[in-house]
Amino acid sequence: MTNELCLDILGTSFTITADEDDTYLRSVLEQYRAAVENTKSISGINEPLNIAVLTGFLLCDEINKIKQQLENDSIEVQERTMNLIAKLDQALGTENNE
């Protein structure tokens, strides 16, 4: 399903076409608008291009932090699983021969 979304932000307007649900696209646009407003308020920058670039940078930073946290959580879950397996092996009197 292909949808078009008209973007009108920071004084620039254009239309994008995407293979996503219209509701999803509008949600992403609202998130970006909120991020732009946050960038404006924390930076004091008024130049639209600079705001857009800084907003993109800040969003990439947020994505990387979330990815790192997910990786850390995954490692922790894996370690806990291995510990539980070792305890089960010990309780059952078997050894893990891997």
Q: DSSP assignment, residue 89?
A: H
**What confidence category does residue 71 fall into, taking pLDDT thresholds of 50, 70 and 90?**
very high
H or E element in which residue 64 lies: helix 48-92
Looking at residues 16-31, what average pLDDT do you find?
94
Domain presence at residue 41: yes
Residue 39 pLDDT > 80, yes or no? yes
Q: Dump strand ranges (E) for 1-98.
A: 3-9, 12-18
Question: Phi/psi zone of residue 61: left (φ > 0), alpha (ψ -120 to 50 degrees), beta?
Answer: alpha
Domain presence at residue 68: yes
Residue 38 pLDDT > 60, yes or no? yes
Residue 96 pLDDT > 60, yes or no? no
State the total domains in the chain.
1
pTM over 0.75: no
Domain presence at residue 14: yes
Domain presence at residue 21: yes
Domain presence at residue 98: no
